[in-house]
Amino acid sequence: METSTRRERRRAETAAEIKAAARKLLVEGGASAVGLRAVARELGLSAPALYRYFASHEDLMAALVAELYDELTAYLVALRDTSEDLGEQLFLVAGGLRDWALAHPAEFGLLFGAPVPNPLADDHDLTPSHQAAMRFGAVFEQLVVQVYRQRPFPGPSEELLGSELVRQLGRKPEIFGEMPPGAVYLALTYWTRLYGLICMEVFGQLHWALDDAGAYFEAQLREIGEALGLDCPPA
């Protein structure tokens, strides 16, 4: 039993070293630089030796994605839990996502540059990387649901949204805690607004207008918080 435990511990340590090497290559050269041979060279191993830990390049990248999502999620949860005020929590997690993305642009590009399957679909099993992505998303989803339950914010009427959009928005009760379609619409609108700002800043699409987008991001976040009826921190 003791020998088996040591073997499992050593295997886990080596797998962690492989993922660390893959992340180093990602940061230095982008996703295309993360090949099995390149990772093996970083560690002084043969490429076939890596197959004892990861069955393919895709498996290695999926494991790295899961680890990065969990790192980001843990960071945001730790920030959120420093306050009990929902308005401040919104600022903390949204600002934390921006800070992490700016500090880790290569990792951010890997995580958010690929589609995530619909967690409610029946035609696939969620992989560990997709499950990690859902844990990340839940940080924001749960916060929005808490805000709505504390003080329901008004949304567009179903007539204005149209029957097709209402139908799609109504398919997400498991995620948005039985919020009505108009409230779900606002939640998605505000999420894409903040996420779009972060993407534009990380990928260098705002330099033409702003030297430092931080103040603009906070102003947008404050506008969203006030629309949701939250007491937002001062500028």
Q: Please report the pLDDT score of residue 96 as a whole number.
A: 97
**pTM, 2 dp:** 0.89
CA dist 25 to 18, 47, 163, 198, Å? Answer: 11, 15, 48, 23
Nearest to 172 by CA among 132, 196, 137, 197: 137
Where do the structural domains in the chain lie, given as residue ranges? 1-54, 58-227
What are the structure tokens assigned to 98, written together? 């921006």
- At 230 the pLDDT is 86
Summary mean pLDDT of the chain: 89
Give pLDDT tens digits for 64-116: 999 999 999 999 999 999 999 999 999 999 999 999 999 999 999 999 886 66
Which of 209, 210, 231 has the alpha carbon at shortest distance from 222?
231
For residue 138, name the pLDDT band (cuts at 50, 70, 90): very high
- The percent helix, strand, coil of the chain (3-state, each to 5) is 70, 0, 30
* pLDDT tens digit sequence for 98-110: 999 999 999 999 9
Top pLDDT among 118 and 144 is at 144
- Give SS3 for 45: coil
Pick 58-227's CATH classification: 3.40.50.1820, 1.10.357.10, 3.30.70.1450, 1.10.1060.10. Answer: 1.10.357.10
Q: Domain 1-54, what architecture?
A: Orthogonal Bundle (1.10)
Per-residue pLDDT tens for 175-234? 777 789 999 999 999 999 999 999 999 999 998 899 889 999 999 999 999 888 888 877
